[in-house]
Amino acid sequence: MKLIAGLGNPGPEYEGTPHNAGFWFVDEVARQYHAVFKSEKKFHGEVAKFSVGGQDVWLLKPDTYMNLSGQAVQALANFFKIGMQNILVAHDDLDLPPGTARLKDGGGHGGHNGLRDIISKMGGNGFQRLRLGIGHPGDKNRVTSHVLKKAAKEDRIAIDNAIDAALKVLPEVIEGELSKAMNELHTKSN
């Protein structure tokens, strides 16, 4: 894994919203590996770098807003010649309950506009995903308000626990052992 992109929306009004679960994940990765984000206009977002076993890994938080996430992912991936198979995208997922983290290799966008834009800009869906459950409000007309309002305290705690579980298997993901990481993560979390 050479690029970990966390999806979310920039700005203080979105900080505590479940749609920013991907940002929360890469913030924790940066903390764990002592990486510091800095704004990079050419990559349309905040970027940090750390090394594991002599391999550089980039972290990215697009500042393009969710629906244009592909612009940032494409810019960084193209500049550093990172293939899709070496990209992990961390994002919120309505289809999983809060507290659930799932790794996935490829697949469709499942209605997620950030993934939709990445697939469009990258010309394919061969990247890995870390799906962080935020739960569904039960009514499709309430989805936008659900993902863009501040997460309930118990949901935020559950999402943070899922992020912690994902961090424990991140070394395997970085080393390219996605199946091993999936087995560990999917066994430990609900």
Domains and CATH numbers, the chain: 3-188 (3.40.50.1470)
Indicate the helix (H) or strand (E) that contains 164: helix 153-174
List the catalytic residues.
19
**What is the pLDDT confidence band of residue 126, given thresholds at 50, 70 and 90?**
very high
Is residue 112's pLDDT more than 60? yes
E-only strand ranges, the chain: 3-6, 38-40, 45-52, 55-62, 87-93, 101-105, 128-133
Instruction: Report pLDDT digits (tens) over 12-39.
Output: 999 999 999 999 999 999 999 999 999 9
Is residue 189's pLDDT more than 60? no
The CA–CA distances, whole Å, from 87 to 120, 134, 138, 187 equal 15, 22, 31, 23
pTM: predicted TM-score of the whole model, two decimal places: 0.96
The stretch 133-141 carries a mean pLDDT of: 93
Which DSSP letter does residue 17 get? Answer: S
CA count, 13 A, side-chain hemisphere, 169: 24
14 with 29: CB under 8 angstroms?
A: no
Find, among 15, 48, 47, 54, the residue nearest to 33 by Cα: 48
Q: Other CB atoms closer than 10 Å to residue 73's CB: what's the count?
A: 28
